[in-house]
Amino acid sequence: MAFTAELEKRGLAGQIGVTETGCMGPCDQGPIVLVYPEQTWYAGVSVADVKEICDSHMVSGQPVERLIYKWPE
C-alpha cells in the first residue's frame, strides 16, 4: 500500500504498476520488492524505504544498493 500511495502522490500511478504477490522465492528475506524491467530484487524493505526506492530507482534509475537482495551462489 505504501508504494501505491507514494506513486499516486507523485502522479506516477498510471505509469508504474504495483502488483501484490505471494512468495517469489526468498520469502525469509521479506518483504521483497521486485522492480521491472531491470529485475532488481530488494529484500527486507520497510515502509520507511519506499520513498528512497521511488526517488532513487523509479525516478532517477539508480538502484538502492543497501537493499538489493544478494542471491546465494
Provide the residue-wise pLDDT of the chain in tens; the chain has 73 residues. 999 999 999 999 889 999 999 888 898 998 999 999 999 999 999 999 999 999 999 999 999 999 999 999 8
- DSSP-derived 3-state class of residue 67: helix
Helices (H) and strands (E) in the chain, counts: 2, 2
pLDDT of residue 24: 87
Which pLDDT value is given to residue 57?
A: 95
Query: What does the pLDDT read at residue 30?
Result: 86
